[in-house]
A and B are shown apart, each in its own frame.
Chain A
Amino acid sequence: DAGITQSPRHKVTETGTPVTLRCHQTENHRYMYWYRQDPGHGLRLIHYSYGVKDTDKGEVSDGYSVSRSKTEDFLLTLESATSSQTSVYFCATQGEGNQPQHFGDGTRLSIL
């Protein structure tokens, strides 16, 4: 499978604090994605990137920002965390053409 590493794997933090999640890939894939997974909602796209410095919003982007300064890293930032952002966050990557997306193991984020 694609070499995707998410860090941290678990984090507990307080409301109002900034949080940054990192996704690192070793496959040189062009496309990278951030999803959140919540009971009853499946996976919902937060932001995605189609190249270095090229990003766009997904369906649940409010309260989140992203950055991609190099191919292998895609950062997700919660500027001021809220309890509604407690979730499991997954990063995914995709190569060119009609390739499937590959997923990391997730980050479990709890905001108290």
Chain B
Amino acid sequence: GDSVTQMEGPVTLSEEAFLTINCTYTATGYPSLFWYVQYPGEGLQLLLKATKADDKGSNKGFEATYRKETTSFHLEKGSVQVSDSAVYFCALRTGGGSNYKLTFGKGTLLTVNP
């Protein structure tokens, strides 16, 4: 079945450091890929997405490129801020019609210190 593996963390960085959170997947067909972010006490918010191979999703300085050859969708940001502290989830979606379902990784807790 479909699965998502992401680095479990926690990840602790200093402000302005470079961030990479690794995400790899196993899926049948051609999934769409997503990164969601969850701030403390809140629900998940879509951060970025990519729907086909070589697509790059970007938002708020975060980027991820859909790599079909390595089945990866790593999240990167060049300079993190304290406000980026949150849990980040990688997810994939296959299917269509009545069968749209997301499969999530276990989440990576990011803490950014001033």
Residue numbers in A under 8 Å from B42 (CB-CB): 105-106
Q: Does B98 touch A at the CB level, under 8 Å?
A: yes
Number of contacts between A and B (CB, 8 Å)? 50
Contact B89 A100 (CB under 8 A): no
Interface residues of B, count at CB 8 A: 21
Name A45's contact: one of B34, B45, B51, B101 (CB within 8 Å).
B101
Kindly supply a per-residue 1/0 record for chain B positions 61-103, scoring 1 wherever the CB is within 8 Å of any chain A CB and 0 otherwise: 0000000000000000000000000000100000001111110
Q: Which residues 25-46 in B have Cβ within 8 Å of A in the complex?
A: 32, 34, 36, 42-46
Interface residues of A, count at CB 8 A: 27
In the bound complex, what is the Cα–Cα distance between A44 and B89 (angstroms)?
12
> What are 26 A-B residue pairs whose CB atoms fall within 8 Å in the complex?
A1-B45, A31-B100, A33-B102, A42-B104, A42-B105, A43-B44, A43-B102, A44-B104, A45-B102, A50-B99, A54-B98, A90-B43, A90-B44, A92-B44, A98-B51, A100-B34, A100-B49, A101-B102, A102-B46, A103-B44, A103-B45, A104-B43, A105-B42, A105-B43, A106-B42, A106-B43
Closest CB in chain B relative to A76 CB, distance in Å: 15
Q: Does A70 touch B at the CB level, under 8 Å?
A: no
Q: Does B106 touch A at the CB level, under 8 Å?
A: yes
Residue numbers in A under 8 Å from B99 (CB-CB): 50
Residue numbers in A under 8 Å from B98 (CB-CB): 50-51, 54, 56
Name B43's contact: one of A51, A54, A94, A103 (CB within 8 Å).
A103
